[in-house]
Amino acid sequence: MSFLDKIDRSNLPQHVAVIMDGNGRWAQEKGQERVFGHLNGVESVRATLKAAISCGIQYLTLYAFSKENWNRPKKEVDALMNLLVNTITGEIGELNQNGVRLLAIGNLENLPTNCIEELNSGMEVTKKNNRITLVLALSYSSRWEITNAVKRIVASGVDADKVDDALVSQSLTTNGIPDPELLIRTSGEYRISNFLLWQIAYAELYFTETLWPDFREEDFYKAIADYQGRERRFGMTSHQLIEQPNNDNPS
């Protein structure tokens, strides 16, 4: 039986975020260069998006390239940028057919011009789709994002006593996107790696030993099933949750 059959469609996370980790180790285990792992990781992106659509997830955010990744060897960075461009170019037709809206967050100005152009084109072509929103985090850093949000708030002249959670959230690159309820990280690492630090305040964290190029639909379904087996209390007690079964996320 597939884990998909165990999923309660009435208790789905609206937004799932994924830290796609393990491409380099996967390639090295096969005696290949790291880029080989990135190339094979594209199939995992397809599988994960397909699984998210099958479940009925509304938002899927993938940590594709961090701000810190610019410090990697130039050969690897160049290969990743070329892979990004080629993947977007090759997948836009299918994304559009499947009702996928493409968005991107991060310091996108740092990306090569051709990457920016392909991203903008892809987002424009898919902007009316509403089956699922695929968010690519590129040249992204949560500390960078929060710092910039603070700068924008200060520059706007808002009084300090008017600054609240809502204003900070509205000043982030994820404005208009609901916070993730589930964060998945592959490859057996137990770190957040500067990803959506503000947004995952109440997210459930799921770690798997599976390296990203091996991650497939069943792995995604398993993570959703695990999420549904947890009690999400948001600072309350179990007894309070019983008394307030329709309680909304206070975050």
Residue spans of the domains in the chain: they are: 3-243
Name, in order, each residue with C-beta under 8 angstroms of 1's C-beta and a sequence gap of 6 or more.
none
Please check whether residue 103 is in contact with residue 127, taking contact to mean a CB–CB distance below 8 angstroms.
no
For the full predicted model, state whether its pTM sits above 0.85.
yes
- Residue 69 designated active-site: yes
- Residue 120 designated active-site: no
What's the CATH superfamily of 3-243?
Answer: Decaprenyl diphosphate synthase-like (3.40.1180.10)
Of the candidates 5, 8, 11, 21, the residue annotated as catalytic is 21
Please check whether residue 175 is in contact with residue 169, taking contact to mean a CB–CB distance below 8 angstroms.
yes
Q: How far is CA 179 from CA 2, 84, 172, 205, 224, in A?
A: 28, 25, 11, 13, 16
Crossing angle (nearest 10°) for helices 74-97 and 34-55: 30
Of the candidates 5, 69, 129, 219, the residue annotated as catalytic is 69
pLDDT tens series, the chain, 251 aa: 788 888 999 999 999 999 999 999 999 999 999 999 999 999 999 999 999 999 999 999 999 999 999 999 999 999 999 999 999 999 999 999 999 999 999 999 999 999 999 999 999 999 999 999 999 999 999 999 999 999 999 999 999 999 999 999 999 999 999 999 999 999 999 999 999 999 999 999 999 999 999 999 999 999 999 999 998 766 666 666 666 655 555 44
Rounded CA separation 43/217 (Å): 11
Q: How many CB atoms lie within 10 A of CB 81?
A: 16
